[in-house]
Amino acid sequence: MSEMKDYYTIKKMNGYYRIGCAEKSFGYLITGKDKAALIDTGSGFGDLKSAIRQVTDLPLYIINTHGHGDHTGGNAQFDEKIWIHSSDMDLCRQHCSYAMRKESVERAKHSKNYETGEVCNILPEDFDEEDYCTRGTGNLVPVKEGDIFALDGATLEIIFTPGHTQGEISVLYKEKNLMFTGDTTGSFVWLFDKDSTDIVTYIKTLEKMIELNAKEYIGAHPPRVMYLDDLLLYKHAAEEADYSK
């Protein structure tokens, strides 16, 4: 069952909450007994902080899987530290700059539904463009491979998974063996951007994730969870693709 929290749709899943919105970028909320963790903050067009606080009032860890604006744009709504890999801090600053936030707003005003071809404005009715564009990154602090966030009943481990960006991380929910992968896996993965790694690095990342053998691999964009067979297909595609074309 889904519940609307103003701009956001929050759906209770198996041990976590999935936070969806018109931006088509999911965030994930995991609650323990004494703390909670939010994985990615989306573009932040809506009041994400209020949506989260309608679900839990626990002290909050906030983790960015990488620095792109559709995962970090909501950071500045929170007073808490924002945990992100050091290799993506500058990328986050770039994507949360006034100019790039302005670009995100313009895209949102002319968002296209690729199934219907319809173009519409997905911004909330009370959206304040100038306030949004001047928000910045939030309080960024570095996180690294192996760091643990203990929520009392839920243990999250940081896994370094570069490819889509230099500092991309995934978050392993150890008790349930669920891996939140950001943009490391999905129906499409950008590897052509100047901030991406080479294909060899990305294949090594996939091998690492396959070896972990998570029960589910949960991406930031596809609504369907992924499984080990999906990662094996991604690895095969990465190895077989002709990058000269």
**139-160 residue pLDDT tens:** 999 999 999 999 999 999 999 9
Number of other CB atoms surrounding residue 129 within 10 Å: 15
Looking up tokens 């691999």 gives 217
Please, what's the b/e burial string for 27-38 (b: 16 or more CB within 10 A of its CB; e: otherwise)?
bbbbbbeebbbb
* C-alpha dist (Å) from residue 139 to 29, 60, 74, 108, 179: 19, 13, 12, 25, 25
pLDDT over 80 (residue 186): no
Confidence of residue 1 (pLDDT cuts 50, 70, 90): very low
pTM for this predicted structure: 0.94
pLDDT for residue 242 = 72
pLDDT over 70 (residue 243): no
Confidence of residue 112 (pLDDT cuts 50, 70, 90): confident
- Crossing angle of helices 228-240 and 199-212, rounded to 10°: 160
Q: Which of 54-58, 111-115, 207-211 has the least mean pLDDT?
A: 111-115
- If you average pLDDT over residues 86-109, what whole number do you get? 97
CB 230 within 8 A of CB 215: no
Phi, psi of 90 (to 5 degrees): -65, -35
What is the share, in percent, of the chain residues with pLDDT greater than 90?
78
Q: Which residues contact 59 (CB under 8 A, 6 or more apart)?
A: 34, 35, 36, 80
What is the chain's mean pLDDT, rounded?
92
Confidence of residue 240 (pLDDT cuts 50, 70, 90): confident
- If you average pLDDT over residues 211-215, what whole number do you get? 97
CB 39 within 8 A of CB 65: yes
